[in-house]
Amino acid sequence: MLGKWLEVGVRNRYMFFLDVLFCIFATWLGFALRLSFFMDHFYGDMVVSGFIFAGVCATSFYLGGVYRIYWPQASLEEFALLLRCFLVGSLIFVLCHLLLPFMFIPRSSLAITLLSCFLLVAAYRASWRFFVAARHGQDSCIRTVIVGAGNAGTSLARDLLRNGDELLPVGFVDDDDQKKDKVIAGLPVLGPVSDLENIILDERISVVLVAIPSASRKVIGEMLMRLSSLGVETRVLPNLRDIAGGIVTTTMLRKVRLEDLLARDPVELDSRVIADVVRQRVILITGAGGSIGSEISRQICSYGSSRVLLLGHGEHSIYGLCEEFREKRVSVPYEPIIADVADSDAMEAVFSKWSPSVVFHAGAHKHVPLMEVNPREALRVNGKGTWVLADLCGRFGVERMVMVSTDKAVNPTSVMGATKRVAEIMVQQAQLDYPDTKYMAVRFGNVLGSRGSVVPKFEKQIESGGPVTVTHPDMKRYFMIIPEAAGLVLQAGALGKGGEIFVLDMGDPVKIVDLAETLIRLHGYSPGSDIAVDFTGVRPGEKLFEELFYDPDFVDRTAHPKIFRSHLSDKQLSYDPIISEVDGCLSCRGSSTLSTLRKLVPEFNHP
């Protein structure tokens, strides 16, 4: 017992001894005021009472956890705990007065003793809290408001107050009318979310913490978009499904990411249908080191495939993915394969050795400006590479092949888009040649954070001080987050019956200049004044607005609300010359790749 008291003394030695002194002083004060300082015959009773009172109060404080509280950041809940422990100690003291014959204390003196003692122990702790706050000053703390006064918000507030973080919470913002003007976890509810801008100005807020993990992404996205224009730093808690055990701490806070602003709720997948297609099968993923290919690989491993073949042309990206799988201790066997999808001999060796049952073809050249100056290579990889895979899938009896396409294949104006349109046609040609294999393509737009996309480029430009370069003020693009796109590719691949081109619901298109300005604000800068936005002009092959369908009249819904099925008219289903044309173009160095693409894709509008 002595060791534990010494442990308390080491942790809060001064507070423990002050509590003892306050109890003794309060006992003396009670006797003195009651007896008008004529205490000649009561010194013995006063001393005994004082030490008993000090002992029971200190014991109650220790057992109740009062000495474990960090008082400079204490809230009303901590002071409520102090009151409860004091009442327990006072009750024991009163019982001692009633039951011990050798202990005498006037009853009116008892009330004075208890009241004055609590005022002393509470006032000392409160003054310490205010003294520390005043000594540090507001300049050393970052004034913070918490959006959401629910369980997550109150837990976050307690953690901030308890741990003395540099963030100083000054209150909550919450739309619940029942919480209006209430005090929760020692902090006031300042008003609804609609008053957030005024609250930020009135309270001199520098940081806003969004603590409503149960809210939909749409609600969070709309709120974050609004906050991005208010000039304050914003941090968010992850979604409720990502919070282990429901325990919220400050370490879970993270900066706002661009995907948080898309206001898109998580896509619900039919995992049973996907599992029926990939479970206990050998899965080949081309372009496995890329943004989409690597995410498809990650998600495939969660469905219990017998083996995953990670095929790519870049050794560094494939090695990095394998290292990630090793660190995460992925249980599904995986095989790294370095090969060129357009190398028919190498690919046939892969099929002969591993006999894949399902192929996800994500390997392609996708950089629009680079492919404008390398059209032959684009046609070789995107066109011939797709046919090599499709032909092998048919010859080796693969169950299904899913090709990842792009919205740039619709009425293409770029070499990359035209070659991906050629790839779509080849997949549908393979369906006619090999009806026992189910072939399909999945078409979607840009993904946030992919290599070569505008977002990493913008972030690098912002970090270097700008300017941020945008091609045109009216440029628009569809965007998805990588896990969402990969999951829908798996879902579409499982739904396909053969010969379809699936189109993913991309939401509303986003203006690139708005994207750039939002990124600038997320980094804490003001567009135009802190970081300039320069317009460089539309590059060769680029369109101001991408399309998802050739003709909306040839689009059907599927069993999944985020996936559409695009049908082509008879005029568009003309495949016969396409394979020989591609081979002829690639075998003859002098032939014009652009002329071949215009012949194969009549709608190819290239200057």
Judge residue 389's burial from the number of C-beta atoms within 10 Å of its C-beta, 0-12 exposed, 13-18 middle, 19 or more buried: buried
Residue 74's contacts (CB-CB under 8 Å, 6 or more residues apart) are 125, 129, 161, 186
pLDDT digits (tens, 9 = 90+) for 559-595: 887 888 876 544 444 455 778 888 888 887 656 888 8
Residue 564's CB is within 10 A of a number of other CB atoms, namely 21
Using alpha carbons, list the distances in angstroms from residue 2 to 5, 304, 318. 5, 58, 61
Residue 572 phi, psi (nearest 5):
-80, -20
Residue 421's pLDDT is 93
Could you confirm whether domain 271-450+478-509+546-600 is CATH 3.40.50.720?
yes
Judge residue 215's burial from the number of C-beta atoms within 10 Å of its C-beta, 0-12 exposed, 13-18 middle, 19 or more buried: middle
138-262 and 271-450+478-509+546-600: same fold?
A: yes
According to DSSP, residue 239 is labeled: P
Tokens 């370095």 belong to which residue?
A: 338
Q: Which CATH homologous superfamily contains domain 138-262?
A: NAD(P)-binding Rossmann-like Domain (3.40.50.720)
CA distance 116 to 39: 19
- What are the extents of the domains in the chain? 2-135, 138-262, 271-450+478-509+546-600
Strand bridging mode 254-255 / 233-236:
antiparallel
SS3 for 422-480 is HHHHHHHHHHHHCCCCEEEEEEECEEECCCCCHHHHHHHHHHCCCCEEECCCCCEECEE
Torsional sign, CA 225, 230, 235, 240:
negative
Residue 575's pLDDT is 53
Residue 567's pLDDT is 66
Q: Are residues 522 and 464 in contact, defined by beta-carbon separation less than 8 angstroms?
A: no
Using alpha carbons, list the distances in angstroms from residue 129 to 123, 262, 366, 419. 10, 42, 59, 68
Tokens 């083996």 belong to which residue?
A: 307
pLDDT digits (tens, 9 = 90+) for 77-122: 778 888 998 899 888 888 887 777 656 667 777 788 888 888 888 8
Residue 1's pLDDT is 43
Residue 225's pLDDT is 78
Q: Which two tokens stand for residue 504?
A: 């993913």
Residue 53 phi, psi (nearest 5):
-60, -45
| Regions of the chain short of the pLDDT cut 50 | 1-11, 137-138, 244-245, 569-574
Q: Which two tokens stand for residue 468?
A: 């941020």
